[in-house]
Amino acid sequence: MAILSFNTKVHFGHGERAQLVHELRLNRIVRPLFVTDTGVKSAGVFAQAIESLGAIPGAVVFDQTPPNPTEDAVEACAATYHANQCDGIVGIGGGASLDLAKAVAVLCGQAAPLWEYCNRHPQPRPITNAPPVILMPTTSGTGSEVGRSAVIIFRNGIKAGIGCPSVVNAAICDPDLTTQLPPLMTAASGMDAIAHCVETFCSPTINPPCDAIAMDGLKRLFMNIERATTEGSDSHARWSMMMGALEGGICFQKGLGAVHSVSHALGALGHHHGTLNAIMLPYVLRMNAPYISDKMTTMASVLRMPADADLPTVFARLNQRLGLPEGLSELGIDASIFPVIAQAALADNAHKTNPYPLSESDYIKLLQAAL
């Protein structure tokens, strides 16, 4: 059995963004570096997140987080941290900003090539002297605020995680920060969270507490994603989506599967992670079904469906109703790259905990089916 670990302190609920003042004081952060992106700033969500601080002249803000955080962005953000003599980091945004904030903390602790901290490195460097980090998600998807890694696209072209399970001092999860999220992003990030709950549950790693958490998250997400997408101001739906996303992130310690090994490989080309997960989930679930029949029955029960429900079709139809792409070709992905993507998926850590070991030819067949 894996080591059971649920170690991130979380403030959760409507209005909890007010806890930022307390957490800055508690962690002795006097000059924080705020890590966000231009979309969150222009929508007014960044200002909403820090409103409890009042006017903060000269605030240090790095708002150039790319849609998929890169090694270059981490280094640029770290340079901003040092140039302004900051003493802590506050990540505010979707998974990209939160992962970037965590990676910057790793790099600011002890300067070294970022790849040396990656979990794909043969001997990852230990993380030391990282500054305090506070994370405030503005989407309900990645669960990065409680996740065990920061996922980065490295200059060598690999998209992979930096294992940093203890770098976050506190997470502040306020569903009010998600109400302005556009419908399509609500849908894509929500399907990302659903994929997390499904894949962690289906992982062969034995961790019953995580299985229970994943199923609670799946139920919350499935029952509320359409409402949150069509009625963005629905406070109950937004609360449930944020809780489900957090629960999916907690369960990462069980490992993921082929949905993520493929989405990491394709995501290195710049495609949106949640959208890729939404597309791949029905196809991977159908391929894995013979190996997880008991878990398929459990998931059907959790979703209040007959024991023999065709869950791959259920999720495919959910994607349709949400207006998400049904195949990879809709993202402009061409089958000519599938051999390279299959090799990258095989090397990804998520591949190791798929319910059964896929071969390169299995991945190519999977990609062709999802085209």
Q: What is the mean pLDDT of residues 12-20?
A: 96
Q: What is the pLDDT of residues 310-333, one digit of tens each?
A: 999 999 999 999 999 999 999 999
Confidence of residue 281 (pLDDT cuts 50, 70, 90): very high
26 contacts: CB under 8 Å, gap ≥ 6 = 170
Q: What is the pLDDT of residues 195-214, one digit of tens each?
A: 999 999 999 999 999 999 99
Q: What is the mean pLDDT of residues 70-91?
A: 97
Domains in the chain and their CATH numbers?
10-178 (3.40.50.1970), 183-370 (1.20.1090.10)
Confidence of residue 2 (pLDDT cuts 50, 70, 90): low
User: Do residues 21 and 51 make contact, with C-beta atoms less than 8 angstroms apart?
Assistant: no
193 contacts: CB under 8 Å, gap ≥ 6 = 140, 141, 142, 143, 217, 221, 241, 244, 245, 248
pLDDT in the model for residue 78: 97
- Burial zone of 4 (CB within 10 Å; 0-12 exposed, 13-18 middle, 19+ buried): exposed
| Confidence (pTM) | 0.95
Q: What is the pLDDT of residues 153-177, one digit of tens each?
A: 999 999 999 999 899 999 999 999 9
Counting residues of the chain whose pLDDT is more than 90, the rounded percentage is: 94
Q: What is the mean pLDDT of residues 237-250?
A: 97
